[in-house]
Structure 1
Amino acid sequence: MQAPITTLEGTWTLAFADVQHPDGTRGHDYGDSPKGVLQVDHAGHYAMFIFNSARPKFAANDRSKGTPEEFRAALMGTSSHFGTVMIDPATHTLTFHIEGATYPNWEGTTQVRHYQMSGGVLSYQVAARPNGDIPLTGWKRVTP
């Protein structure tokens, strides 16, 4: 049964953005010190942004004149999407209805993620990638 979104409502800052490899080891998915924010309103609308803070700046100082390497680093160093989210405490699931995303294949999809809430950190894992890596994400609520 879906719960009131007030459980998630507010602003969250990124606690970690890691990846679990098929061999069981864990690494950083967006560099050593990623940045991110998750905002959820009273109706369940959300916006999420994760950035590798070590993304290189474009040498030309013009976003339309990046090199292939700069474009790749910019895209692979970010993950953002928005839409609506629902929470089901009974099954410990978050259901994201993704309207827009930096990865266009996610647009218009619904993704269910199992979550845990421990020590003030909301954490979940994303479905495994084709190479078997499993992204792990954690958020801490921002207190006013």
Structure 2
Amino acid sequence: MGMREKLIGTWVLESYTEYPVDGSAPVYPFGEYPEGFIIYTADGYMSAQLSMPNRAPFSSGDWFAGTDGEYRAQGLSYISYGGPFNVNEDSGELTHTIAVSMFPNWIGQVQPRTVKLVGDILQLGNFSQYQSSGRVVDARIRWRRVKPPTPLLTPVKRG
């Protein structure tokens, strides 16, 4: 089975850590216990959602009527993007082509990822360093394969 087939499915976010290249302490942009999923489909698409836990709801209850502070907090605590993905089976390189993104600067980019897959643990890294909160960083994102949901069992009525 090739790497592409091994990626197909849903993975839950376990950790997202940025390592500043200046040697300063690691940073957890979505906290030490982030939430999220990355999904790779058999037809060649992917979607990633990364979030801080326990995000505050908008006081108005209306997605389009948040305060400036609520929109800022939302933008700093969540990222999502999706589009086609490709695996070069010879080199092992994984790329995400960003078709949609909460961060519009990524739209149209082809972003390579390093891949380490051991059992049900997938570790993705950025192929090159990038800017985050004013620092140049390397990132490592750890995912765990999600098992299919177990159907609810309904007791059989007898007699």
Give the TM-score, by structure 1 length: 0.86
Q: Which amino acid aligns with 1:45?
A: Y
SS class of match (1:6): helix
Compare CA radii of gyration and give the structure with the larger one. 2
Partner in structure 1 of residue 99 of structure 2: 99
Which of 1 and 2 has higher RCO (CA within 8 Å, sep 6+)?
1
Partner in structure 1 of residue 73 of structure 2: 73
SS class of match (1:95): strand
Does the 8 Å CA contact 1:29/1:135 hold for their aligned counterparts?
no
Q: Which amino acid aligns with 1:132?
A: V
Distance 2:24 2:119 in 1: 24
Partner in structure 1 of residue 147 of structure 2: 143
The number of residue pairs the alignment matches comes to 142
C-alpha displacement of 1:90? 4.1
SS class of match (1:54): coil
Gaps of 5+ in 2: 149-159
Partner in structure 2 of residue 8 of structure 1: 7
Matches within 5 A, 1:1-144: 3=2, 5-22=4-21, 23-118=23-118, 120-126=120-126, 127-129=129-131, 131-144=135-148
Distance 1:106 1:86 in 2: 17
Report the more deviating stretch, 86-95 or 10-19: 86-95
SS class of match (2:84): strand
C-alpha displacement of 1:89? 4.7
Give the TM-score, by structure 2 length: 0.79
Superposed CA RMSD:
1.9
Gaps of 5+ in 1: none
C-alpha displacement of 1:36? 0.6
